[in-house]
Structure 1
């Protein structure tokens, strides 16, 4: 774990990170050196393999940024394999029902909190050199983030929030926009209303909130609105836009 765990940081105040869709671990390390609190290593929409994730997690540790892997879906093997890399957390997309939330928790936790597949000869357990009891106790402290990003999930939100064992409820605005028939229109009133509804219900239960934003003003508003786990944009897009600004400044 990093000196102060991501879970501890989230409880003490807002944390900022970004999504990563690169296969270059140097970009991951640089995000940490640039001051990010966490980086979401994306296996749902990104090209990186599980082998690459092992390199990314090592790079994140070197850079001092908490590595979180977004799994491909609600799949016990995918969730367990993500945590086996030594990632500090796992993020599970497309949670629409309480049963799916319970399935994600079971896949991410060892007994007595879940049914995660057991192998201690993995990077997360220092390839078997870490004392077993220490490993299993520490592993159950990994940060688990569940994504609600569709109208079905919002309809079932009360039941989802009753599920124990996860740490952050993450709102996916782009998928929400898709679910209301306005793909990409993340500032549409229908999308904002759904996000506000999710936030109200999560806050009432004392559950930490997360969200994605690719607009600076919106990111600031989300942090002010109580979203402690804020992922701003994507590493490759941040780099591309920085190049655009640089060229404009030089040519201007």
Structure 2
């Protein structure tokens, strides 16, 4: 049984796709078997994966698997321990498949058929609260995280995503847990962050992850080049330059905190399957 997570925000452009990919990549390097499910009709996770790993042209996509009622053939391996169910613009057709009585739990039953092959499953969703894509991801998830930029307008999207998740939890998926808020693109502007600190008590409220992701040009470039997909000198360690290493160190800190927040009970099954 996998631990299934949705990471999102009702506001676009906060970096949820890249951070989801970096977390999945980092967990895979630690020995966990991780599946990325691209349920965003923009297919950004699939495009980023293709930049680094070159996706198979023969592999069916998410919508193909849902129409055929079998996601197994859609799973393609990107690297050791890292897998993907790709998505594209045809994902908008999901709405055609949803039964009128319950439009939230459709994806879950097909994820449950394959989840035992993985330790973690990440859903990449579009930045729209209450959409069928977000709702189905939340319906299939055990946990959700809100990702936000260190800016007030992005913080305003926290409650929208949270409320959408609570609506799914109350009506359809009572086991859905809120893990917290991750702050991305933490600026060095002390005055600007001080405003957020005063308004939201970021440093003292347990709702916020203590690990914050700094604003770095390299992280932004992963969308154009693929995760860690940059030419390296022959002297670089394991194929990572100093900018990649800085990102990896931060992501590893975030993963440590993520595992702590998930808790021993949920990790017990996962840990019994692998050597960490």
Q: TM-score, normalised by structure 1?
A: 0.43
Q: Which has the higher contact order (CA 8 A, sep 6+)?
A: 2
